[in-house]
Amino acid sequence: MVGRSNVGKSSLINALTGQRIARAGAKPGTTRMVNLYAARTAAAGMRARRFTLADLPGYGFARGGETARREFDALTRSFFKRLVRDPERDCGPEETRLAGAILVVDGRHPGLESDLAALAWLLELGPPVTVVTTKNDRQSGNVQRALRSRHERTLERSVLSVSSKTGAGVSAVRTALGAMLSPAKPPSGASS
């Protein structure tokens, strides 16, 4: 989970797992280190998969000022550097691999420079990226649809809208997670 401070990454983890495992708070900067959570998903039509969710400190505001922001940035870069593998090299069964990244953005604020920069950085790293908007339940349905459309235009990709409070859209994120976790099958007749 990658996103700005206080965007709802920890709340989304809790909604996805159906448990209160991630510490979520109203103040920005609640997550101060990489928190790892053992999870399991069973999206519709897919077999259950075990995986680890990583809740990263948010970019942007951080209690502790510029020094804390630099530390969080270094922590995030180090975390991804260890997990991003050469796609040509097979991971062994005991090796950890990055299945993908979920970029969490505030549904009320499309086109923020920090979100655009985070998406560009993730795309440069190469893992599959799913964009999820949160805090959508704070607007009417028409406003939500208009904002989602603006997000899709500025990010140049589709986004999934969720509400951690009501659970709306959570199943679509579970399905996206399942797709990230399922390795692509080679076309029939292709050699392995």
**CATH code where residue 169 lies:** 3.40.50.300
pTM over 0.75: yes
Residue 35 gets the label, from left (phi > 0), alpha (psi -120 to 50) or beta, of beta
For 83, the enclosing helix (H) or strand (E) is helix 65-83
Asked if the structure places residue 68 within a domain, the reply is yes
Count of domains for the chain: 1
Three-state SS at 169? coil
**Which ranges of the chain have pLDDT less than 70?**
25-32, 41-46, 60-76, 80, 82-96, 183-192
Between CA 9 and CA 190 the distance in angstroms is 39
Asked if the structure places residue 91 within a domain, the reply is no
Domain extent for 78: 2-85+97-181
Asked if the structure places residue 16 within a domain, the reply is yes
Asked if the structure places residue 189 within a domain, the reply is no
Asked if the structure places residue 90 within a domain, the reply is no
Q: With b meaning 16 or more CB within 10 Å and e meaning fewer, what string describes 85-102?
A: eeeeeeeeeeeeebbebb
Asked if the structure places residue 168 within a domain, the reply is yes
Question: In sequence order, what are the residues at sequence separation of 6 or more whose Cβ sits closer than 8 angstroms to the Cβ of residue 6?
Answer: 26, 27, 28, 29, 30, 58, 61
